[in-house]
């Protein structure tokens, strides 16, 4: 089921019984740029700082959604740079989620609203990502892991662990830190 305003770019694959809510974009280019020098005799040389500008890297990969994937309204799933961005069977993606190029999402994961995965993130099966959480590029979140809402994950997360905070850390360490801050705030 594809609702109004869905954009699906070329060569992307949607599995059986998927539900794609309004305004979803599947297969747009990822966000990949590299500095590129401009020759000193180029007429625009002076307008670019240090004689450099950003050059877009091509994304020629695709997106593959497994069976029974649901994506919420306004979600963007970028195509892979060379390979594919993939989402496993049964995964549910809420509204306004960003899934960058080359991400690999396992089966039966849940990504809540406004979560963002940077490029080349890997999620195992049954991972839960809370609303507004951000995962930095090239990280692995192990199967069964849970990331609390609004967390900023900058390290790999082992399977089965719960992480929270900015920067995100193991849940027990995060809660101990909060308790310590509260004691300090009360003067003890």
Q: Active-site positions?
A: 101
For 65, the token pair is: 């959604």
Residue 7's Cβ-count burial label (10 Å; 0-12, 13-18, 19+) is middle
Cis check for the bond before 109: say yes or no (omega within 30 of 0).
no
- Torsion angle, CA of 65/66/69/71, rounded to 10 degrees? -10
| CB 38, CB 54: distance < 8 Å | no
What letter would DSSP give residue 26?
A: E
Secondary structure letter of residue 45 according to DSSP = G
Residue 137 Cα to chain centre, angstroms: 8
């Amino acid at each position: 089921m594809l609702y109004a305003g869905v954009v699906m770019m070329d060569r992307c694959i949607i599995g059986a019984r998927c539900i794609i809510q309004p305004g979803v974009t599947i297969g747009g280019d990822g966000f990949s740029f590299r500095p590129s020098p401009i020759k000193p005799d180029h007429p625009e040389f002076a307008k670019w700082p240090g004689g450099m500008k950003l050059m877009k890297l091509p994304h020629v990969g695709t997106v593959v959604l497994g069976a029974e994937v649901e994506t919420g309204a306004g979600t963007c799933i970028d195509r892979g740079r060379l390979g594919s961005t993939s989402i496993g069977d049964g995964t549910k993606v809420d509204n306004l989620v960003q899934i960058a190029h080359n991400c690999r999402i396992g089966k039966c994961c849940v990504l809540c609203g406004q979560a963002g995965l940077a490029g080349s993130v890997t999620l195992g099966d049954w991972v839960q990502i809370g609303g507004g959480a951000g995962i930095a590029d090239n990280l692995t979140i192990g199967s069964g892991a849970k990331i609390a809402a609004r967390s900023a994950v900058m390290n790999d997360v082992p399977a089965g662990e719960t992480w929270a905070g900015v920067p995100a850390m193991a849940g027990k360490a995060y809660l101990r830190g909060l308790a310590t801050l509260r004691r300090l705030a009360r003067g003890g």
